[in-house]
Structure 1
Amino acid sequence: MHSTTHTGVDAAVNIRAWDSIASRDQTHGQPQDPPPDIAWTPWPGRGPGAELLGDLVGKSVAEMGCGTGEHVGYTALHGARLAIGIDASLRRLTQARARFGHLPATDWHLGDAAAVLTTLPILDVCYSIFGALWYADPAQLLPAVAGRLRAGGRLVFSVNAPRQGELSGRRVDNLTSTGGARLPVIHYAFDAADWSALLVAHGFRPVEVQPVSGPHTSPHHTLVVSARRAPLSAGPGPLGRPTRESMPPMVERRSAAG
């Protein structure tokens, strides 16, 4: 069962970590060119690219957890009518705006993704690259996404699957900064079957989950998930209100990975 009591705690812990990482970033906030493609995994050259977002020309697109903004810049450069970046870390969002805010169509929003989404216009595409759908409870975020995407709109995101022997659920972990400091974070790890069940329960179908393995030295593998916002007539029950039986169990785990 998904708890709604963790939301504020999760956000506070994760904001502290990402603000700390941003404060250690020594690169200057000068305007930059966006990357040539979108990378969904931590490993260059592994996994799909920007084609998962479809044709961006004239579309309204939002990244949930945009970090330093390079992917928002990519969507703006490739024709998005509105390229939105959402992040809960003020320092990260300030860096993003400095680097890519010169591009037409970019629009930056500070705050919790589920709350910010309710203030936005109807969207064609929502996406997250180890962003809000990794660090926030999907039981809170997916209804907000479903409520803002047009019917047929795309949701694309990447997360890590639980490591071998781990159960799905809320996880306390650590990020290791470039200076070696270990910063506590909270994220949500689900396997492919659980993500599919969550998405269908919240009004998304069809769902496609593409596993991408890392180098042989890595214990991780990434799930790149693509789904469409189903029309209201696509299934029984109101969107965003799944039954308890349709949801994967929430199991909290603590790990010490860097």
Structure 2
Amino acid sequence: MARCVAGPLPVDAASNATAWNAVALDEATSPPPDGLTRFEWTGWPGRGPGLEILGDLTGARVAELGCGTGEHAALLPRHGTRQVYGVDVADARIQQARRRWRHVPGIMWLSGDAPAVLGGLPPLDVCYSIYGALWYAAPARVLPAIHARLMPGGLLAFSANAPRAGEPSGQRADNLAINGMRLPVIYYTHTAEEWRQLLLAQGFTDISFVHVTAPQSGPYKTLVVTARRPHN
């Protein structure tokens, strides 16, 4: 069942929750999309790595931060996970995931700000995010929470867009257009080297990057990042 994590949300989380709850309500009358057949880290299907980045998931406790409607999390139980936690700041998104994937065992859907939700979870073997909390939450808040919850040797994997040419790094704002309204969203964009320094500062090691460019040489580049909490 879905569970809300109480307490006031930080400004970025509150803004993003409002926008994505509105998206979920706008989609309420649309048929649900088909389930995924491939684990996608970018917005360009078939481009870039797949589920292999997460390694052997047999018996693993896994959390997706910013799970949206849950398509990726719903793929994991067939790969032997012990427990999957789908986390999203937008409660309406969590309700969508719960309805769409209620037939899939071994998933708990949780709504709330990712750092707060992480504090209530058991130790994790894998934590991942696909344009999720590592894109929409301040690294200074979310990275320490992930490091604290991962088991020694545990894996963090995430995708986020790198800054476009001429675009500054750090906190950025954009708008989602929904039913004639423009709702602000807040996100955080960094280069690979900036992510490396942010991860090192929080104690992560074994940091690596896959650079995935947009088709037809578009302006976007997605970074698929992996790092580990060290064993010692």
What is the Cα deviation at residue 65 of structure 1? 0.6
Q: Secondary structure at the match of 1:163?
A: coil
What is the Cα deviation at residue 183 of structure 1? 2.8
Residue type at the aligned position of 1:193:
E
The change in CA–CA distance for 1:162 and 1:154 in structure 2 (over 3 A counts) is same
Structure 2 residue 110 is the aligned partner of structure 1 residue 109: yes
Match of 2:87 in 1: 86
Asked if structure 2 preserves the Cα contact closer than 8 Å seen for 1:77 and 1:103, the reply is no
Asked if structure 2 preserves the Cα contact closer than 8 Å seen for 1:33 and 1:100, the reply is no
Q: 1:90, 1:111 → 2: CA distance?
A: 7
Match of 1:226 in 2: 226
Residue type at the aligned position of 2:184:
P
Give the unaligned 5+ runs of structure 1. Answer: 1-6, 233-258
Q: Secondary structure at the match of 1:199?
A: helix
Asked if structure 2 preserves the Cα contact closer than 8 Å seen for 1:123 and 1:148, the reply is yes
Match of 1:148 in 2: 149
Match of 2:6 in 1: none
Q: 2:141, 2:168 → 1: CA distance?
A: 20
Match of 2:22 in 1: 20
What is the Cα deviation at residue 92 of structure 1? 0.4
Give the number of aligned pairs.
Answer: 223
Length-normalised TM-score, structure 1:
0.82
Matches within 5 A, 1:121-200: 121-177=122-178, 182-200=182-200
Q: 1:34, 1:128 → 2: CA distance?
A: 18
Q: Deviations over 1:35-93 (max 9, x none)?
A: 22210000111110000111112110000010000111011222111011001111100
Aligned residues: CA RMSD: 1.7
Q: Secondary structure at the match of 1:70?
A: coil
Length-normalised TM-score, structure 2:
0.91
What is the Cα deviation at residue 213 of structure 1? 0.3
What is the Cα deviation at residue 180 of structure 1? 6.8
The change in CA–CA distance for 1:214 and 1:76 in structure 2 (over 3 A counts) is same
Q: 1:171, 1:101 → 2: CA distance?
A: 35
Asked if structure 2 preserves the Cα contact closer than 8 Å seen for 1:210 and 1:225, the reply is yes
Give the unaligned 5+ runs of structure 2. Answer: 1-8
Q: 1:84, 1:61 → 2: CA distance?
A: 6
Q: 1:223, 1:77 → 2: CA distance?
A: 27
Match of 1:255 in 2: none
Asked if structure 2 preserves the Cα contact closer than 8 Å seen for 1:64 and 1:131, the reply is yes
Q: Secondary structure at the match of 2:215?
A: coil
- Over 4 Å off, 4+ runs: none
Q: 2:181, 2:211 → 1: CA distance?
A: 30
What is the Cα deviation at residue 174 of structure 1? 2.0
Q: 1:51, 1:119 → 2: CA distance?
A: 28
Q: 1:217, 1:91 → 2: CA distance?
A: 35
Q: Secondary structure at the match of 1:146?
A: helix
